[in-house]
């Protein structure tokens, strides 16, 4: 037996996600309510709160949602291309803000420093990536570039100096 749909217009104004956020700030909202603010609307048969609840359920909360593709989001009834793109953009913006480092450039002094620098971006990749970090004389990262991406079942076997260094050297004309 399905629950009757409670449309957002029937929710008390003080409990609506957008109004609640305006009054109390974004930090006062649950993940479901934050997602409802981003989605803006539900459908004729389902409120935006119910839709956001289904999205969180389908992606195991925020665990898998942060890596969801546009195609995966569109598989959810009520999420079309526009909403999927908007969610992906919000997730990417959040990722960039999280990894943004203001001021000082990241300094590499050990393999652990390299791991810390690339781990957040590479943690959930399903294919091997050959990434080059370019450092200045103070061991500060001045550029990062993915040169090769392996296939799902094989590694990068044909690395040679020309293929490795040519893209890196060509980008130095754009670096300060």
pLDDT tens for each residue of 46-63: 999 999 999 999 999 998
- Asked whether the predicted pLDDT for residue 154 surpasses 90, the reply is no
Cα end-to-end span (Å), the chain: 63
- The domain 8-99 is classified under which CATH number: 1.10.150, 3.40.50, 1.20.1340, 1.10.1740? 1.10.150
Name the strand (E) or helix (H) holding 153.
none
In the chain, ranges of CATH 1.10.150 domains: 8-99
CA distances, 79 to each of 7, 29, 51 (Å): 17, 21, 9
Residues 23-44: what's their mean pLDDT? 92
pTM of this prediction?
0.58
Alpha-carbon gap, residue 15 to 113, rounded angstroms: 45
Give 131's strand partners.
146
- Asked whether the predicted pLDDT for residue 175 surpasses 60, the reply is no
Alpha-carbon gap, residue 36 to 26, rounded angstroms: 12
**How many Cα atoms within 13 Å fall on the side-chain side of residue 22?**
8
pLDDT tens for each residue of 103-129: 678 899 999 999 999 988 888 888 888
């Amino acid at each position: 037996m399905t629950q009757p749909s409670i449309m957002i217009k029937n929710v008390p104004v003080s409990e609506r996600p957008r109004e609640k956020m305006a009054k109390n700030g974004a930090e006062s909202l649950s993940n479901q309510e934050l997602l409802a603010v981003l989605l803006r609307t539900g459908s004729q048969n389902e409120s935006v709160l119910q839709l956001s609840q289904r999205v969180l359920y389908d992606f195991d909360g925020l665990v898998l949602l942060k890596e969801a593709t546009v195609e995966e989001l569109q598989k959810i009834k009520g999420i079309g291309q526009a909403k999927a793109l908007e969610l992906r953009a919000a997730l990417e913006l959040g990722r960039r803000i999280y990894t943004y480092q203001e001021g000082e450039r990241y300094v590499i002094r050990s393999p652990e420093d390299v791991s810390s620098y690339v781990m957040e971006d590479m943690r959930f990749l399903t294919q091997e990536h050959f990434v080059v970090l370019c450092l200045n004389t103070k061991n500060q990262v001045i550029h990062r570039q993915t040169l090769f991406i392996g296939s799902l079942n094989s590694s990068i076997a044909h690395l040679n100096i020309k293929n490795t260094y040519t893209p890196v050297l060509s980008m130095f004309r754009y670096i300060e």
